[in-house]
Amino acid sequence: MTQMTVNNQKVSLDTPADTPLLWAIREKLNLTGTKFGCGIAQCGACTVHLDGAPVRSCSVPVSAVSGRKITTIEGLMKTRTGKALEAAWNQVQTPQCGYCQSGQLMAAADLLNKAKKTLSREDILSAMSGHICRCGTYNQIAQAVALAQKTLKGGQA
Ligand code: FES
Ligand code: FES
């Protein structure tokens, strides 16, 4: 039995210790916003926050998250940062097929939460470079992250 906090709710999961966190999230908790892409920590589609830092949930066993805090895209969207990102994503019309986007948003939220200065396009592209989008939405993502940072600084979200 693994106990953890997911999106501010305590949960107990009866899964084998080596079950990838991604499958626990999707199949046991029915939080299907987190996606499976490569399964080998290469694409970023499965990104969640573990104790506030992004991890690739396809490659983290549930045994490694016992007693820890996880935020998925569903939880992120209830936060101020998540709402600012969602509004910016919509304004720029960022998603194409959408498959990679929850992972992109988790990475973008981490970037914004840690940013100590106004992010340039190069800062954003560099920080997000490990997140693959087969539809090529990188330009829109860079625009949307910059817009969300502006909104958060202006205190509007
Ligand atoms: S599915 Fe986890 S990094 Fe690709
Ligand atoms: S929007 Fe299609 S893979 Fe990124």
Distance in Å, CA 73 to ligand 1 centroid: 15
Per-residue pLDDT of the chain (157 residues; tens, 9 = 90+): 889 999 999 999 999 999 999 999 999 999 999 999 999 999 999 999 999 999 999 999 999 999 999 999 999 999 999 999 999 999 999 999 999 999 999 999 999 999 999 999 999 999 999 999 999 999 999 999 999 999 999 855 4
Distance in Å, CA 156 to ligand 1 centroid: 33
User: At 93, phi and psi to the nearest 5?
Assistant: 55, 55
Give the pLDDT of residue 157.
Answer: 45
* DSSP letters for 51-85: TTEEEEGGG-BGGGGTT-EEE-HHHHTTSHHHHHH
Q: For the chain, what are the domain ranges? A: 2-75, 80-154
Q: Does domain 2-75 have CATH number 3.30.750.80?
A: no
Q: 């709402």: which residue's tokens?
A: 83
Q: Which CATH architecture has domain 80-154?
A: Orthogonal Bundle (1.10)
Determine the atom of ligand 1 nearest the C-alpha atom of 39: 1
Give the pLDDT of residue 22.
Answer: 98
Q: Is the dihedral of CA 96, 101, 107, 109 positive or negative?
A: positive
Whether the full predicted model's pTM is greater than 0.85, yes or no, is yes
Distance in Å, CA 55 to ligand 1 centroid: 10
- Residue with the smallest CA separation from ligand 1 atom 3 is 41
Give the pLDDT of residue 154.
Answer: 86
Q: Nearest ligand, CA of residue 42?
A: 1
